[in-house]
């Protein structure tokens, strides 16, 4: 059966792409670029490579539309994948092994090499059918999304090269869903990674010294964790809410101390906070500053990452791309579940420069395995996704 699947050109291309170990960190993207250059030649698409940061290529394949002056459509995906714990995988994670049930096991099968290939295979079908699009279509393959996109999309959107693409609407990754619905994302929470340093009176561990770093740290941790509990209660109280609708707070690092019998002069705690789209950022920061004040003197903080608020993409009649996307989905009888993305994707950088963007990976009836062991995607779901894009791409490109 695996051999039968591999005779399918789309599946063969997917497998070839999955076998390229573009795994973080320190990726050499050369093999991805070569693979995509060949795809562009086969599809008769323009091929460009931009290097905003050395050795971090941004690959763009372009299908010029009949009205090239119109704002264009951007189909984005990322080339990099997260690390693997190979001993925990049933099959080698870069073998793209297809089992007897037609499941393709590989790192990147869901996140998100599938979508990049589905774009290209949908274009192959459209071109073979003689379809012509009104708007120009750009298919971008970017680096480093899995480490925040700092040297990829984050910088690219501010370049003249990106502005020259004249993007009016973008699509990017979503997530799998075990149920019937296809999950669609129109916004993302803001990521704040905050390091809080508590200084205090050092001394011997046998004493009850005043003004210690530990007392201050405890007060601050209690405040953040109380808010975490409050958000958990909100999420659990309403079945309509998903994780993207609330603010998440997680204690991710504790640092400090020199030895067991010495009261340290400084302790540090790190929190990963994802602010719900409804949160006022200034008020939230004022609140945490107040907690620091209450905890005592000698508290400083800095942000490792602090995303600004970004407006969600509108899902109403004011957004003609959404109207076209929804009409095409309805024609295919796709059940859409619209949500706020729980993590971070490159869409946040695209939306921040004022371009509407939707996150969508056509993977229903599929367990969520991004970043997990034994990540897989069924061949049937992969091929169905191509058919879905053959309807969605002309819908948005002919707006």
Largest CA distance in the chain: 82
Active site residue 80: yes
Measured over the CA atoms of residue 84, residue 85, residue 88 and residue 91, the dihedral's sign is positive
Rg, Å, the chain Cα set: 24
3-class DSSP state of 182: strand
Q: Which residues contact 380 (CB under 8 A, 6 or more apart)?
A: 102
Residue reference for tokens 């990147």: 108
**CA-based nearest residue to 334, from 392, 399, 378:** 392
**Annotated active-site residue in 111, 144, 145, 172:** 145
Residue 357, beta-bridge partner list:
170
Question: Using the 8-state DSSP alphabet, how is residue 244 labeled?
Answer: G
In total, the chain counts a number of residues equal to 399
3-class DSSP state of 113: helix
Q: Which residues contact 6 (CB under 8 A, 6 or more apart)?
A: 12, 15, 98
Q: Which residues contact 38 (CB under 8 A, 6 or more apart)?
A: none
In terms of DSSP H, where are the helices of the chain? 2-6, 9-18, 30-43, 113-128, 153-156, 160-165, 213-237, 281-295, 320-331, 347-352, 379-397
CB 133 within 8 A of CB 63: yes
CB 371 within 8 A of CB 108: no
Token output for 228: 């975490």
3-class DSSP state of 41: helix
Token output for 182: 């296809």
**CA-based nearest residue to 136, from 78, 69, 76, 77:** 69
Active site residue 30: no
Enzyme catalytic residues:
80, 145
């Amino acid at each position: 059966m695996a051999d039968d699947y591999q005779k399918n050109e789309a599946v063969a291309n997917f497998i070839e792409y999955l076998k390229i170990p573009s795994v973080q960190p320190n990726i050499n993207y050369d093999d991805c670029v070569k693979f995509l250059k060949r795809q562009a030649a086969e599809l008769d698409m323009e091929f460009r490579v931009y290097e905003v940061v050395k050795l971090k290529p941004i690959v763009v394949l372009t299908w010029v539309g009949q009205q090239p002056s119109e704002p264009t459509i951007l189909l984005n995906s990322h080339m990099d994948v997260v690390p693997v714990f190979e001993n925990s995988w049933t099959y080698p994670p870069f073998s793209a092994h297809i089992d007897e049930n037609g499941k393709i096991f590989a790192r990147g099968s869901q996140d998100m090499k599938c979508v990049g290939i589905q774009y290209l295979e949908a274009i192959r079908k459209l071109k073979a059918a003689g379809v012509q699009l009104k708007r120009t279509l750009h298919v971008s393959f970017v680096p480093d999304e899995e480490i925040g996109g700092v040297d990829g999309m984050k910088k690219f959107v501010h370049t003249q090269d990106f502005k020259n693409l004249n993007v009016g609407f973008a699509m990017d990754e979503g997530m799998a869903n075990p149920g019937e619905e296809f999950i669609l994302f129109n916004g993302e929470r803001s990521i704040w990674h905050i390091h809080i340093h508590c200084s205090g009176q050092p001394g011997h561990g046998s004493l009850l010294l005043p003004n210690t770093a530990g007392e201050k740290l405890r007060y601050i941790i209690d405040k953040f964790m109380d808010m975490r509990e409050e958000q958990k209660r909100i999420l659990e109280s309403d079945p309509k809410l998903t994780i993207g609708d609330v603010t998440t707070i997680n204690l991710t690092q504790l640092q400090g101390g020199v030895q067991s019998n010495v009261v340290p002069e400084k302790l540090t705690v790190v929190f990963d906070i994802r602010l719900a789209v409804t949160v006022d950022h200034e008020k939230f920061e004022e609140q945490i500053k107040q907690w620091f004040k209450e905890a005592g003197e000698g508290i400083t903080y800095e942000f490792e990452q602090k995303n600004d608020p970004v407006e969600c993409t509108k899902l109403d009649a004011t957004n003609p791309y959404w109207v076209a996307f929804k009409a095409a989905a309805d024609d295919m009888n796709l059940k859409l579940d619209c949500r706020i993305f729980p993590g971070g994707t490159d869409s946040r950088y695209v939306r921040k420069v004022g371009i509407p963007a939707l996150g969508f990976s056509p993977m229903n009836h599929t367990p969520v395995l991004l970043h997990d062991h034994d990540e897989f995607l069924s061949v049937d779901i992969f091929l169905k996704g191509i058919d879905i894009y053959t309807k969605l791409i002309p819908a948005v490109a002919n707006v």
